Structure 1
Amino acid sequence: MLVCSFLTPAWAARVSTPSPASPTPRAMIPAAPQLSAKSWVLMDAATGTVIDSQNADMRLPPASLTKLMTVYVATNEIQAGRLKVDDPVTVSENAWRTGGSRMFLDPGAVVPVQDLLRGVVIDSGNDASVALSEHIAGSEDAFAGLMNVIANKLGLTDTHFVNPTGLPAPEHYSSAHDMARLARAIITDESAYYSLYAHKYFTWNNIRQPNRNLLLWRDPSVDGLKTGHTEEAGYCMVTSAVRDGRRLISAVFGSTTMNSRAEDAQKILSYGFRNFETNTYQKGGKILAQPRLWKGVKDVISVGLRDDVTLTLPRNSGRKVETRLHINNALQAPIAVGDVVGSFELYDGVNKLTTRSLIALEAGKAGGWWVRAWDTLHLFFAGLFDVKDDTGEVKA
């Protein structure tokens, strides 16, 4: 249902807005499951909506979840043309000596970038991460600077990196919310490389290692992303799954065991798919109204939304969505494409779901001097005598 109204002065014609309907029946959504993790987030990938969370912005050591940013920086470099997947990388002694999980690189070996990426993602190789970072930026420190620049661009306000591996350091931290955001950026911006995260095994130096994401074996809807573990961080995991064309992202920090982090991720993903839905309620670029345009070549202008209105909401078969448009006072030419001319509101009964800017979908060009003079005079006398005019109709 579409309801249109004007934010107009007393003299202008008005389109009445019906009183809000009685509240629609609310769906009964159970509470999120209890997890062993100390911090977690469940996010819808399409909208970025956090469906549920616990201690979402708590700054914690991310362990090897750090490597999500390491790979994101590298694939950004590839897409920018500054790095190629077949570029040879010489493994330094510094990379070879890096402790923790390993790809088992040999010092002095020459390894293509694409194999290092596999070693980082599948083997969680610290040696591969360092080799890649040194090749791109010259040193681990310089590469960490790149990581932080991108973290800032992505709005990861509770994240700071000091190395590309996730090995413990006092000022190396992130949050479940930030890691879910990073995963969404990887899925959205780096889709050409996302399939890396679904690989179950990688063999290098005759050593075959399994991906530590247990859900790749347990749940066919899961296709990524990354695990992490240190004594300080506990067991961490960022996971994504697609069911019926809908993608969710989970991030868990500080689970108690390798198995419990997989169970934690599985529980909240299943909870999200079962109890929430994502739908597009209005398309961007569609003409929603044609309000009066003063002083223009044309006397109306087409208005609508810049982007689709897609929302993640609790499942509710009884939801009755109502659209309300509010047009700004006496729109006057010239108006450029994209100028804000009002607001779009979406309601479920008395509950406002969202507000978006209503924009001009076409240019409202100024009319000739006679049109401008006549409309100026009309508006002046209409305001002076509080006279209603006949130009307030919105065609939806």
Structure 2
Amino acid sequence: MKKGLLVITIVVFLMSNLSFTVYGEENNQAAPDSENLAENAKSAILMERDTGKVIFNKNEHEQLSPASMTKIMTLLLIMEAIDEGKLKLDETIRVSERAASMGGSQIFLEAGEEMSVNDLLKGVAVASGNDASVALAERVAGSEKSFVKRMNEKAKELNLKNTKFQNATGLPAEDHYSTAYDMSVMAKELLKYETITNYTSIYEDYLRKGEDNEFWLVNTNRLVKFYPGVDGLKTGYTNDAKYCLTATAEKEDMRVIAVVMGAGSTKDRNADVTQMLDYAFNHFQTNKLFEKGDKITELNMLKAENNHLDVVASESISTLHKKGESMDKVTTEIKLHEDYTLPISKGDSIGELLVKNEGKIISRSDLTVEEDVEKASYLTLFKRTLQRMAKNE
């Protein structure tokens, strides 16, 4: 296994005679001509998902109650557990008395009832079920308290400096807060798990269908039905938080995230988000560089059991620019970590892909592996030594 920093530069030509404007890592501010957006909200943000670039913001770092938008972090940890094989969609979970006792939005689980992870996910994503959220949290971490600890650890990992959780549901609690910016980052991270929108895009469905206690699910995010392209993510409301929404929509290969916090009514909340989405799709477009899972490079690791390793994109990677503008040349630089400690687990970051314009970094994305990489056995190492000796004869 070679040590040292491996850097590879790829030049991507996108032919155009027009100028290019980037909302990049060193220029992460809102675009002009957007002053009239989110007039009804205390805070708001509009972000392009692939690049993480902010198109519009308003008081985006103000600490406010996120209400049930808290469940975006809850869903993120659940999707991570599923991706890592620690939780399976067809697994059945037995509901605890505590989970069944949750108030607020619920799917009316009963203590001792058994429900699949798949249906509980629907209960969280569609109906914002507090009981379903706690049932899943207890399964993943043993208790809601332990799960909340993981939520806060994940917030630190994502460098969210203005977020603190006290529960997995968003029910009113002292010292439980987040910001529009932090919610957009959580949403961006959640959307790496592309199957999440299979749940958050459902407008209506049923749980326990055909049974006496059948429950009709209706999405609390009405834009899923009434705004083309919206397929998530999470609403929120309490007396303190007022009306909140983290929404995502995709159109013409561009996905955006819009967050509104503290709106005065459902109508105001939806109007603000609709205007923000319209603004994004009317004024901006993306150029796709890589899809999630695309092979970026490869490594030969002599001390690994499988010494040929494909390095892939951990997420969709694009550039963002205003409509009518494009770029003449973009470069992507691969930076792999200097040292690797085996084993490496599926999904672990082993480097990053830097997207640059004229030498200026405009986005960063983790590079990862799609399968576990085990340390080579002594027998494997012995065979490789013999093979190298035979080649040198």
TM-score normalised by L of structure 1: 0.67
Q: 1:77 to 1:309 in 2, by over 3 A?
A: closer
The worse-fitting range, judged by mean Cα deviation, of 28-37 and 263-272 is 28-37
- Which residue does 1:122 correspond to in 2? 126
Any conservation in 1 of the 2:45–2:184 contact (CA below 8 Å)? yes
Equivalent of 2:203 in 188, 200, 204: 200
- Post-superposition CA distance 1:99-135 (Å, at most 9, x none): 1011111121111111111111111011111111122
Q: 1:271 to 1:92 in 2, by over 3 A?
A: same
Matched ranges for 1:86-235 at <5 A = 86-188=90-192, 190-204=193-207, 205-235=213-243
- Which residue does 1:46 correspond to in 2? 50
Shift of residue 193, structure 1, vs aligned partner: 3.0
Q: 1:115 to 1:285 in 2, by over 3 A?
A: closer
Q: 1:356 to 1:168 in 2, by over 3 A?
A: closer
SS in structure 2 at match of 1:101: coil
Shift of residue 223, structure 1, vs aligned partner: 0.9
Superposed CA RMSD in Å reads: 3.3
- Which residue does 2:250 correspond to in 1? 242
- Which residue does 2:41 correspond to in 1? 37
Aligned letter for 1:182? Answer: M
CA distance in 1, matches of 2:177, 2:252: 34
CA distance in 2, matches of 1:137, 1:237: 27
Any conservation in 2 of the 1:122–1:210 contact (CA below 8 Å)? yes
Shift of residue 194, structure 1, vs aligned partner: 2.7
The worse-fitting range, judged by mean Cα deviation, of 132-141 and 259-268 is 132-141
SS in structure 1 at match of 2:191: helix
Equivalent pairs: percent with the same residue?
Answer: 36
CA distance in 1, matches of 2:255, 2:159: 21
CA distance in 2, matches of 1:122, 1:356: 32
CA distance in 2, matches of 1:180, 1:202: 27
CA distance in 2, matches of 1:260, 1:191: 29
Q: 1:246 to 1:234 in 2, by over 3 A?
A: same
Question: Which consecutive residues of structure 1, in runs of 5 or more, have no partner in the other structure?
Answer: 1-22, 287-306, 325-337, 347-351, 358-396
Any conservation in 1 of the 2:69–2:234 contact (CA below 8 Å)? yes
- Which residue does 2:262 correspond to in 1? 254
Shift of residue 155, structure 1, vs aligned partner: 2.2
SS in structure 2 at match of 1:196: helix
SS in structure 2 at match of 1:131: helix
Any conservation in 2 of the 1:33–1:271 contact (CA below 8 Å)? no
Matched ranges for 1:309-328 at <5 A = 310-317=318-325, 321=328
- Post-superposition CA distance 1:328-379 (Å, at most 9, x none): xxxxxxxxxx99xxx9652xxxxx965799xxxxxxxxxxxxxxxxxxxxxx
Shift of residue 279, structure 1, vs aligned partner: 3.1
TM-score normalised by L of structure 2: 0.67
CA distance in 1, matches of 2:269, 2:100: 29
CA distance in 2, matches of 1:110, 1:309: 40
Q: 1:206 to 1:238 in 2, by over 3 A?
A: same
Q: 1:151 to 1:355 in 2, by over 3 A?
A: closer
Q: 1:248 to 1:320 in 2, by over 3 A?
A: closer
- Which residue does 1:279 correspond to in 2? 287
Matched ranges for 1:288-327 at <5 A = 310-317=318-325, 321=328
Any conservation in 2 of the 1:123–1:202 contact (CA below 8 Å)? no
Aligned letter for 2:206? Answer: T
CA distance in 2, matches of 1:41, 1:191: 22
Shift of residue 30, structure 1, vs aligned partner: 2.5
- Number of aligned pairs? 293
